[in-house]
Amino acid sequence: MASIQDVARLAQVSTATASRALSRPDMVATTTRDRVLHAARQLGYQPNVIARSLRQGETRTIGVIVTDILNPFHAQLAKGIQDAADRHGYTAFLFNSDEDPAKERRAIETLRGHLPQGLIIVPTSGARENLAALSGVPIVELDRVTGTPAVTTVTADNAAGAAAATRHLISLGHTRIGMIVGQQDISTATQRHDAYRSALEDAGLTYDPALVLPGNHREDDGHRAATRLLTLPEGRRPTALFIGNNEMTVGAVLAARALNLSIPTDLSIVGFDDSRWAQTMTPPLTVVAQPTYDLGTQAAEQLIQQLRRPRDGPPLHIQLSTTLIVRHSTSPPRTPALTHH
């Protein structure tokens, strides 16, 4: 590959001039600049960013760690980040933690060697310790939050979303509303759970811990939890389910089908996070939609802005709003009378 030396030689200038002609065109005479540019084009010159990074101590690279690239939610976050980073001339290094703190740690270590100028992370439950290894690098926590002081966060308004979902079910007349909630050490899970609980209590309903089951964000977990909830004895069984993330919702819907419960007649369901699957399943799913792509771009924009000029004040906490989209997976509960039809 042609180096800047080759370009300099061909243009009959020093490497310094060649370098300047390419990166600070105005510092160089027009005629020489043209000579250099021409030589560069002729040789197909592409700067060696490795050498440049080493010299400048700036890699123009940001690290990105999501927990599951196979989850469309995360794929969309990643795309938002990449598109925005790209617009600003940064390259994003994408890693997967698979929701596993050990993998996350390895990703961080690998990343560290590449000297990323910043990191956008959807943290696992072990992130707080893992992140300690990266001191000095600006961090943006995306979607979830570890509670580490002084880091920027970009999240959706989980509380409002969960409250809207719960109130929607209550307004339809449901009184036994179950919830399948993510890991309790993940902020999104606790926020959604807390809001669900408050909404219930605000409406004068009692919060019943027996109707709340945990899962680890995966489809299986949703399936398992839903099966348990839906096989509760009649009269104790929830007539509606609010499910804390997209993957578990899939599992729950399949569990309901396996039990021959028809949605929404026998069971109302509200999921968190919209997706094509939610839109096209039968019946189309009522969900709390998140501005997923925007979450990604916002995270990147915030990080890059911070790289350009480090903030001194308190860290920014950006929260994007969620919206309840009512489709056809929710309806009033079947009344006992009708059951005996």
42 binds DNA, rule: CB under 7 A:
no
Longest CA–CA separation in the chain, Å: 94
Give the interface segment with DNA, choosing from 2-10, 208-216, 242-250, 251-259 (CB under 7 A): 2-10
> Any residues with CB less than 8 A from the CB of 176 and at least 6 apart, and which?
208, 211, 236, 237, 238, 239, 240
Q: Least distance from C-beta 262 to a second copy, angstroms?
A: 12
135 binds DNA, rule: CB under 7 A:
no
The one-letter amino acid at 90: Y
For the CA atoms of 52, 142, 221, 226, what is the dihedral angle to 10 degrees?
-150
Q: Least distance from C-beta 292 to a second copy, angstroms?
A: 10
Select 29 or 259, whichever has its Cβ closest to a second copy.
Answer: 259
231 binds a second copy, rule: CB under 8 A:
no
- Measured CA to CA, the distance from residue 183 to residue 151 in angstroms comes to 22
Q: Which of DNA, a second copy, none binds 56 (CB below 5-8 Å, type-dependent)?
A: DNA
- Measured CA to CA, the distance from residue 205 to residue 252 in angstroms comes to 24
Question: What distances in angstroms separate CA 210 from CA 230, 318, 335, one per listed residue?
Answer: 12, 34, 22
Q: Least distance from C-beta 92 to a second copy, angstroms?
A: 8
- Under rule CB under 7 A, which residues in 18-37 are in contact with DNA? 18-20, 22-24, 27-29, 31-33
Nearest Cα neighbor of 217 from 260, 262, 187, 174 is 187
How many of the other CB atoms lie within 10 Å of CB of 276?
A: 8
Q: Least distance from C-beta 112 to DNA, angstroms?
A: 11
Give the interface segment with a second copy, choosing from 43-51, 208-216, 262-270, 307-315 (CB under 8 A): 43-51
Evaluated on CA atoms 334, 336, 337, 340, the torsion sign reads positive
> Any residues with CB less than 8 A from the CB of 212 and at least 6 apart, and which?
178, 179, 180, 181, 193
Task: Answer for the pair 189, 244: CB distance below 8 angstroms, yes or no.
Answer: yes
- Under rule CB under 8 A, which residues in 156-175 are in contact with a second copy? none
Q: Least distance from C-beta 136 to DNA, angstroms?
A: 13
Select 16 or 132, whichever has its Cβ closest to DNA.
Answer: 16
**For residue 228, what are its two tokens?**
């348990």
Q: Which residue has the tokens 């990105």?
A: 64
CA angle centred on 149, ends 143 and 155, rounded to 5°? 15
Q: Least distance from C-beta 37 to DNA, angstroms?
A: 12
Specify the 3-state DSSP secondary structure of 101.
helix
Q: Which of a second copy, DNA, none binds 260 (CB below 5-8 Å, type-dependent)?
A: none
Give the interface segment with DNA, choosing from 46-54, 187-195, 199-207, 323-331 (CB under 7 A): 46-54
Q: Least distance from C-beta 113 to a second copy, angstroms?
A: 4
112 binds DNA, rule: CB under 7 A:
no
- The pattern of x and - marking residues 75 through 114 that bind a second copy according to CB under 8 A reads xx-xx--x--------x-xxxx------------xx-xxx
41 binds a second copy, rule: CB under 8 A:
no
**For residue 273, what are its two tokens?**
């996070």
Interface residues toward a second copy, by CB under 8 A: 1, 44, 46-51, 53-54, 59, 69-70, 72, 75-76, 78-79, 82, 91, 93-96, 109-110, 112-115, 133, 136, 250, 253-254, 276-277, 280-282
Q: Which residues bind DNA (CB under 7 A)?
A: 3-5, 12-20, 22-24, 27-29, 31-33, 45, 47-48, 51-52, 54-57
